[in-house]
Amino acid sequence: MCSDLEISKIWGIALGKVVNLIQPGITELRRKLRERSITSADVVDALIARTETHFALNGYVAFDPQGLRAQARAADLLIAAGQDLPLLGVPIALKDNIDAAGWPTSAGTPALLAHRPMHDAAVTGRLRRSGALISGKANLHELAFGITNHNQVTGIAGNPWAPDRIPGGSSGGCAVVVAAGMVPAAIGTDTGGSVRVPAALCGIAGLRPTVGRVPSGGIAPISCTRDTAGPMARRVEDLVLLDTILTGDVGTVAPVPLAGLRLGVPTGRFWQDLDSGVGAVMQAALERLRHAGVVLVSVDLPGLDAYNEAAGFPIALHEFIPEMTRYLETSASGVNLADLVARIGNKDVAGVLQPLLANGGIPPQVYSDALQARTRLQQVYSAAFANHEVQALVFPTTPLTARAVSAQDTVEFNGQQLPSFPSFIRNTDPGSNAGIPGISLPAGLAPDGLPVGLALDGPAHSDRRLLSIAAAIERVLPTPALAPL
């Protein structure tokens, strides 16, 4: 529970205001800052109070209240001097695999706990030049190789809606701090679902851009073919603003008319064997779309499962070795790949990477075959969008709500104990391997009181159009709320 002082900070009562300073998103905060109805110092005091009250969720692995206050005071001086930058005075969290000068980048792994890069990642630099305050570094699944955020090195992150459940991963800490009202937005990374899965499980919105739209320099990598940074926030309008800043794309984004909009409902894996609560929420979402005039079209994706399986892990595991080696060298970490892998602290991650390194990695021919499978997967998606004349595919982001994970890294799913990783990424993985853009939106709460995510995948490089569609759909879905802490 919050103390009276913490409550006064959150609501601005101490300054004679009655305004909730943790509920607004980026866009609303910038409007209030421009109007001078609040200050950046007001905002960070409220967020710090909220963070300190709920720090046990372990969303942040690095948090500096005094440093954040200093950033806010500097922003307020710039605002008073007439500066008007897109994010001036607004705190943004970074996943702890994204470099920021003055902050550690541990990637959630023992060998990098003392790693303090001297330079910003490209995305961090763009945020700072837009006036953003860096609020802290968010927890993640070790080396971004997992979906639960059960990290034995930096600590387990709890879902704000049910702290005994997972927040999803690997960008789980980002979802926690946004969903809990500790910060209005965060930047995560997504290789197979690592932005969209935690967004869905924590009841916020998350965007995976088309691979290559967001610069990757200064981010601890897995796969150059699959990785991308992406924004996480509570509203689509904030994803749009962050996408503009991260990519430099200033194309207009406005909610599209839903009447007559053709969306594909993919057959196969995407709608099969859903948790009953997820199924109920998603059927209600489809009814809302139909009522708004959306035309829902059944879309087949022939060969998708085979191509996806052939592409996914061979590409990621082949590219990890040279990509991580390059990052460790260019960031002056003082750590080599062999030491990094030898010191991995989580059994699930060690079980993948230590044998990989010991066996010399994925053979070149297997990697080449995987890239060919990826090309065919991309062709499956391109044909589906073109042949069915749909602008996006709609499906549940995850087939189940947040679960507690057992010591065997399994989850209860429809009466069975199943491996957690493939269970949660089942629907997000194919689009990730194809490199196409995807969004997860809060679709409502299942009967167990936990959030359900609605996913949209679009054609490659249709990101701004996909955001326009998401903005329109957001209006007909239940209004999302902060987790009821």
Is 420 designated active site? no
Q: What residues have CB less than 8 Å from 66, skipping those under 6 apart?
A: none
**Whole-angstrom Cα distance, residue 342 to residue 309?**
28
Cβ-based burial of 224 (10 A; exposed 0-12, middle 13-18, buried ≥19): middle
Spell out a b/e string for 161-191, using b for 16 or more CB atoms within 10 Å of the CB, else e.
Answer: bbbebbbbbbbbbbbbbbbbbbbbbbbbbbb
From the candidates 40, 194, 223, 333, which is the catalytic residue? Answer: 194
From the candidates 106, 130, 135, 170, which is the catalytic residue? Answer: 170
Is 3 designated active site? no
Packing angle of the helix pair 347-358, 304-330 (nearest 10 deg): 80
**Whole-angstrom Cα distance, residue 371 to residue 424?**
24
From the candidates 9, 40, 95, 135, which is the catalytic residue? Answer: 95
The encoded tokens of residue 407 equal 């010591």
Residue owning tokens 């990637």 = 107
- CB-hemisphere CA count at 13 Å for 476? 22
Is 194 designated active site? yes
Query: Which positions are annotated as active-site residues?
Result: 95, 170, 194
